[in-house]
Chains A and B, each alone.
Chain A
Amino acid sequence: MNGHDMSTPPTMSRRTFLQAAAAGLTIASLPGGFSDAAAVSTGPRSLVCIFLAGGADTFNMYVPLRHTEPGQRHDTYSATRGHFAVPRRSLLPVGDGSFGLHPALPGLAKIASSTRTGFATVSNLGPLAVPIDKADYRAGRDVPQSLFAHDAQQKLWQTARSTLTSDHGWGASIQQAVAANADVSPSFSVNGTNAWQSAAGSTYASLSPNAPVARLRGYDASLRGWIPSFEGVESVMRTSIRAAEASRNVLDQAAGRVLQQSIDTTTALEAATGSGADDEIGMGDLANDPLALQLRVVARLVKNRQALGMNRQIFFVRMGGWDTHRNQVALFPQLLGQLDRSLASFQTSLDGMGVANSVTTFTATDFGRTLTINGDGTDHGWGGHAFILGGAVRSGEYGVTPSYATVNNPDDVGDRFDDFAGRLIPTTSVAQYGATLARWMGLDDHQLDDAFPDLANFDRRDLGFL
């Protein structure tokens, strides 16, 4: 289905209005037109995935404040979540005040109220191949595989599928569509392997935030003083790699590839990034925070994207600890605070470099958590909220706000205190979410359908926040 269903128009920020006007588009043509204009832009663009590992309790990250529909009212939310509910007066209102951010997210609240950077939320998002309802769920129709299991759901999120059979991440799809011939892969993980960036025939560089990028000794001519016989050693090493690649044993072959890729990546990255001026990137005040450290690596690579010849970049960072089965009251604000400070610092860095309009950051997680609580924590759910920030983002609420009620909740997979109470069927699919981001990165409709085969089952191919 083509076109953009704008039945829930986003909040138009003054900035996007001015941009659109400058591009010569009329207001009437904005809904679809603006996105197309953005896709045509040839300036560099970078996409940053913040994966909140463990299944973050996103239902408490932003909370309805002024919604009046039954089930969406704050008092309903509050009754369901008991002592976990964030009181109205504590929430930080965003935009027109229809929702508020958790008080431990002041940095994001400030970003959300700025005109320079957009802040959008997508409600009740999760893996889904085709819209289903409670009856479908009970009958087992079109229900995603292995719901509520961490690794399975992380994979479904990262491949935008509802079965575990695909090993093709949608981050990799973006890379293949817009950067297929790059010498050095513009796809970087700063937190290890992940399904989002993985696909056959596609590689991504996996960087550590703690160890600087250094070339392999033995391939580093600058060590000639240390290895007098450098040329001979390097030659033997190259022969050994070729021998491994030519071995009939598949593990040997893989080892040869792994070593060669490490050499190529570290050589290219060291040459392009050096030990450069941290001043320009900043983020020094949070130097010990694991997420901030990862984002600082991202900032450095964004800064050097032209030197690296990269018109498109894809980044994956991950923050753990979100699987709050216990002690959530103490832990969750700490986690939010860490997220908030790191994201705010990152955004400041991007602003300082003047690249905020061309970097979009979005959240993803295994699943939302149960609306009901297990005493001092929450358990694995399904649908959950997400947010996106960046200069190109059109601020507002997207997706469909779910019901937070514990009885007669059409979005809940069960009834109160029965099986599955508090787990919501998503009302927006990861396929739609990913497709919106991928379109901004330059994928056309054909490429979007390849990358997101389930997209065709939904009315809206573009959620509209970019």
Chain B
Amino acid sequence: MTPISPPAYEHATRIRCGGGPITEVDAARFLTQATFGATVDTIAELQELGTYEAWIDAQLALPQSLTRPYTVENSNGSNRGPRHQIFWRNAVSGPDQLRQRLAMAWSELFVVSDIDYELRLAQYAISGYYDMLGEHATRTFREMLEAVTLSPVMGIYLSMLRNERADPERNVRPDENFAREVLQLFTIGLDELRPNGTPRKRKGKPIATFDQHTVEQFARVFTGWNLDGAAWVSNDLTKFDKESPMVAVAEFHDTGLKELLGASTPHGASAEQDLNAALDDIVAHSNVGPFIARHLIQRLVTSNPSPRYVRRVGEVFDDDGSGRRGDLAAVTRAVLLDREARSGHLTKPRTFGKIKEPIMRLTQLWRAFDVQPGPASDGVLKTPPKVVDQLDDLLGQAVLRSPSVFNFFLPDHSLDSDSGLVAPELAIHTDINVASTNNLLFDSIHESNNTTPAGQYATASRISIDREVALAADPADLVDHLDLLLLSGSMPEAMRLALVEHLSSLPDTPDGRIQRALDAVYCTIASPLHLVQK
């Protein structure tokens, strides 16, 4: 696969993203969108590099941090812990931060979840699926969609696996699960969209992109696929290969003519031919550009992009500058380099931004303060009372473990009752999740001050606030530093004053400075401002 050469993203850089050197605040904002959290070092590196384009290029050229090898080595296939351990390790310290962030973003579109009882036993395959999404972040959408469609993990999750053509004698019809969700959730959505992502209307009402008839046609397309090497009928899937792409079994494929969205498949086509035609048909739909643009913008940058922003990114999806459709690296560049991403906090101060996902809040803390696994923990990140593979109890989310195919939150979850704005991540910030996440952050911060860790605390991960303790002699400096690192410079003046005043009230002694550092870090990260990414 040849790397994408500069002309592919020139189209994106024609979008102005402001000139001049990258300030600290600019860098912190960008890194909050493009990584799992800014650090003092990465801010400095980005400023040194001088352009966001160069940073993105360098990032996408790095080798991918995988999850599968670690999972294979440390899990027996059904033990769930390892794939989360390696996710957290990659998110916190993997050099390929952008690709890691993209993998998570794509996993929230092409959702599978090991809440499903069969997938729970297929940890290697799920890790492989996650890595596949990360790898395809720099391929085309058509390639990603095909890899997802033929993945046994998806085949199991949305029951395309062993889907059979109709048999009237046994009152059997093809399974519609994947056919419906591939259209509704993965590619075009329920309503016709304009290029800017707003719904088209006819007589004031949205226009449906497909109806039940279409679903049934696609259901017939996706018939006759099985695990490589398995018989068609068997109850126990555990012993079969769930990682190689599914293979076609002609006997169970419906070869009749099918009417798709734009085209029809001819009578007599094979399972492979029909599948290729169907995926081509879906990807050609004009909704896909704005649909995918919106998804990526919402995961990385802002919940309520302006229609123009969506259209600009959608246009790059349609044509990356060299005639290619669905060039996902170009789309990524378009999302991050757009003027709305770079300065929306200034041009749209009322509505720009998004609520952070809970995972991000913890990765930010751990990255910014250089977390280390506990001495007795075998290199595994852990925070009492939970190991990282149980953190979804406290945070409300874990990758590839959402309650359903609808991810942890819906893209149209309302911000409030009257503004018409959305804030998807608010759905996951329940009263209890907010409290338990806050307490998790508190515990993690104060653990750094535990000089005699014992019992479960001997395995607990520890951040370092030495740098902050050194700054604590001057509360204003300390607060500015944390404002940049954790809030990208968005701390309100009233809060700054109150925090500086409080820190100044603590003694300027060795112990006092530790107390100042602890309080400053906690107050900053526990404030509502840290819930928001602008």
A complexed with B: yes
Chain A positions within 8 Å of B, measured between CB atoms, are: 53-54, 80-82, 146-152, 167, 189, 192-193, 199-201, 205-208, 210-211, 213-218, 226-229, 232-233, 235-237, 239-244, 246-252, 254-256, 258-259, 261-263, 265-266, 320-321, 323, 325-326, 330, 370, 372-377, 379-380, 406, 417, 419-421
Distance of A419 from chain B, by nearest CB (Å): 6
A-side contacts of B396, CB under 8 Å: 208
Cβ of B40 under 8 Å from chain A: no
Q: Complex formed: what's the CA distance from A262 to B115 in Å? A: 27
Contact with A206, one of B164, B418, B432 (Cβ below 8 angstroms): B432
Task: Give the chain B neighbours of A151 by CB distance below 8 A.
Answer: 406, 410
For A210, the closest partner residue in chain B by CB is B393
1/0 per position for B432-449, CB-CB distance to A under 8 A? Answer: 111110110011001000
**How far, in angstroms, from A323 to B158 measured CA to CA in the complex?**
10
> Which of A152, A226, A227 is the most central at the interface, judged by chain B CB atoms within 10 Å of its CB?
A227
**Across-interface contacts of A247 in B (CB, < 8 A):** 492
> A419 touching B212 by the CB < 8 A rule?
yes
Given contacts A216-B438, A243-B492, A251-B353, contact A374 B173 (CB under 8 A): yes
Bitwise interface map of B from 26 to 60 toward A, beta carbon under 8 Å scored 1, else 0: 00000000000000000000000000000000000
Contact mask for chain B residues 391-426; partner A; CB cutoff 8 A; 1 contact, 0 none = 001101000000110100110011111110101001
At the interface, yes or no: B231 with Cβ under 8 Å from chain A? no
- Tell me the bound Cα distance from A242 to B495 in angstroms: 9
Instruction: Pick out which of these stretches binds chain A: B334-342, B344-352, B457-465.
Output: B344-352
Rounded to whole angstroms, the CA-CA distance of A138 and B396 in the bound complex is 43
Partner of A375, one of B172, B427, B438: B172
Give a binary string over B55-67; 1 marks a CB under 8 Å from any A CB, 0 the rest.
0000000000000
B residues 185-233 near A (Cβ < 8 Å) are 190, 208, 212-213, 215-216
* Contact present for A379 and B519 (CB under 8 Å): no
Check A208–B436 contact: CB distance below 8 A. yes
Extra inter-chain contacts (11) besides given A237-B523, A250-B416, A252-B528, CB under 8 Å: A206-B433, A210-B393, A214-B435, A229-B506, A232-B519, A252-B532, A259-B527, A266-B432, A320-B404, A380-B176, A417-B168
Contact in complex: B531, A259 (CB < 8 Å):
yes
Please determine whether B531 and A258 come into contact, CB atoms closer than 8 angstroms. Answer: yes
The secondary structure that dominates the A interface is loop
- 8 Å CB contact of B175 from A81, A189, A237, A374: A374
Give the residue of A193, A200, A201, A215 whose beta carbon is less than 8 angstroms from that of B430: A193
The 9 closest A-B pairs by CB, nearest first: A200-B417, A206-B430, A255-B528, A240-B527, A243-B492, A244-B528, A262-B434, A255-B531, A217-B442
Taking the nearest CB of chain B, how far is it from the CB of A290, in angstroms? 10
- Nearest A-chain residue to B426, judged by Cβ: A254
Q: How many A-B residue pairs have CB under 8 A?
A: 242
Which of A218, A227, A232, A236 is the one whose CB lies under 8 Å from B495?
A236
Q: Find chain B residues with CB under 8 A from A248 CB.
A: 349-350
Query: Known: A152-B190, A249-B350, A255-B528. Is A235-B432 also a contact (CB below 8 A)?
Result: no
Query: Taking the complex as formed, is B467 at the interface, i.e. its CB lies under 8 A from any CB of chain A?
Result: no
Q: What's the Cα separation between A149 and B176 when bound, in Å?
A: 11
Distance in angstroms between the alpha carbons of A189 and B427 in the assembled complex? 12
- CB within 8 Å for A146 and B190 given contacts A208-B430, A325-B159: yes
By a CB distance below 8 angstroms, the chain A residues around B495 are 236, 239-240, 243
B532 and A251 contacting across the interface, CB-CB below 8 Å: yes
Q: Does B332 contact A (CB under 8 A)?
A: no
CA–CA, A261 to B438, complex, Å? Answer: 13
From A81, A214, A240, name the one whose CB has the most chain B CB atoms within 10 angstroms: A240
Proximity bits, B169-189, A CB within 8 Å = 1, else 0: 011111111001000100000
Which residues of B sit under 8 angstroms from A320, Cβ to Cβ? 115, 403-404
Contact with A along B151-176 (1 / 0, CB 8 A): 00000001101111011101111111
Q: CB within 8 Å of A: which of B269-291?
A: none
Residues of B within 8 A of A205 (CB): 431
In the complex, whether B515 has a CB less than 8 A from a CB of chain A is yes
Give the distance in Å from the alpha carbon of A374 to the alpha carbon of B163 in the complex. 9
Question: Is B255 an interface residue, CB under 8 A from the partner?
Answer: no
B353 touches A249 (CB 8 A): yes
Which residues from chain A contact B351 at a C-beta distance below 8 Å?
249-251
B177 CB contacts on chain A under 8 angstroms: 323, 325-326, 379
B230-248 CB mask vs A (1 if < 8 Å, else 0) is 0000010000000000000
Interface-located stretch among B3-11, B135-143, B497-505:
B497-505
Bound Cα distance from A417 to B208, whole angstroms: 24
A231's nearest neighbour on chain B, judged by CB, is B502
Give bound CA distance, A415 to B492, whole Å. Answer: 64
| B70 part of interface (Cβ distance < 8 Å) | no
Contact A377 B416 (CB under 8 A): no
CB distance from B507 to the nearest CB of A (A): 10
Contacts of B253 in A (CB 8 A): none
* Contacts A148-B212, A167-B414 given; does A325 touch B176 at CB 8 Å: yes
The residues of B with any CB-CB pair to A shorter than 8 Å are 115, 117, 158-159, 161-164, 166-168, 170-177, 180, 184, 190, 208, 212-213, 215-216, 235, 303, 349-355, 393-394, 396, 403-404, 406, 409-410, 413-419, 421, 423, 426-436, 438-439, 442-443, 446, 492-495, 498-499, 502, 505-506, 515, 519, 522-523, 526-529, 531-532, 534
A374 to B178, CA, bound (A): 13
A325 to B439, CA, bound (A): 40
Contact pick for B159, options A147, A249, A326, A370, CB 8 Å: A326
Q: How far is the CB of B479 from chain A (nearest CB, A)?
A: 10
Which A-chain residue is minimally distant from B118 (CB atoms)? A327
Report the Cα distance A212→B160, complex, angstroms. Answer: 39
Query: How far, in Å, is B84 (CB) from chain A's closest CB?
Result: 16
Contact call B522/A218, Cβ cutoff below 8 A: yes
A-B contact pairs, 20 of them (CB 8 A): A80-B171, A149-B184, A167-B417, A211-B393, A233-B523, A239-B495, A239-B498, A241-B528, A247-B492, A250-B350, A250-B415, A250-B416, A251-B355, A251-B423, A258-B434, A265-B432, A320-B403, A325-B176, A374-B175, A375-B163
Complex CA distance for A251 and B303, rounded to whole angstroms: 9
In the complex, which of the residues B216, B414, B434, B534 has the most CB atoms of chain A within 10 Å of its own CB atom?
A: B434
A249 lies within 8 A of B532 (CB): yes
Query: Given A241-B528, A251-B303, A330-B235, are A54 and B492 also a contact pair (CB < 8 Å)?
Result: no
Neighbour of B432 across the interface among A211, A239, A330, CB < 8 A:
A211
With contacts A150-B406, A211-B394, A325-B175 taken as known, whether A236 is within 8 angstroms of B498 at the C-beta atoms is: yes
Q: Which of B171, B413, B436 contacts A214 (CB 8 A)?
A: B436
Complex: A244 Cα to B529 Cα, angstroms: 7
B190 shortest CB reach to chain A, Å: 6
Residues from chain B with a CB closer than 8 A to the CB of A375 are 163-164, 167, 170, 172-173, 175
Closest to B352 in A: A249
CA distance A189 to B431 in the complex (A): 10
- Of chain A, the residue at the smallest CB distance from B533 is A251
CA distance A205 to B433 in the complex (A): 11
Distance between A164 CB and nearest chain B CB, rounded to angstroms: 9
Known interface pairs A229-B519, A323-B177, A379-B173; A254-B423 also in contact (CB < 8 Å): yes
How far does the alpha carbon of A266 sit from the alpha carbon of B502 in the complex, in Å? 26
A326 to B159, CA, bound (A): 6
The closest CB in chain B to the CB of A266 belongs to: B435
CA distance A119 to B492 in the complex (A): 57
Please give, as numbers and ranges, the residues of chain A lying within 8 Å of B303 by CB-CB distance. 251
Most buried by B among A228, A236, A323, A376: A236
A242 to B208, CA, bound (A): 43
What are the residues of chain A within 8 A of B526 when measuring CB–CB? Answer: 216, 218, 237
Chain B residues positioned under 8 Å from A420 (CB to CB): 212
A370 to B173, CA, bound (A): 10
- Least CB distance from A163 to B in Å reads 9
B168 to A, closest residue via Cβ: A417
A320 CA to B434 CA in the complex, in Å?
Answer: 23
Cα distance A216–B435 when bound, in Å?
A: 5
CA distance A215 to B515 in the complex (A): 22
Please give me the residue from chain B that is nearest to A206 by CB atom: B430
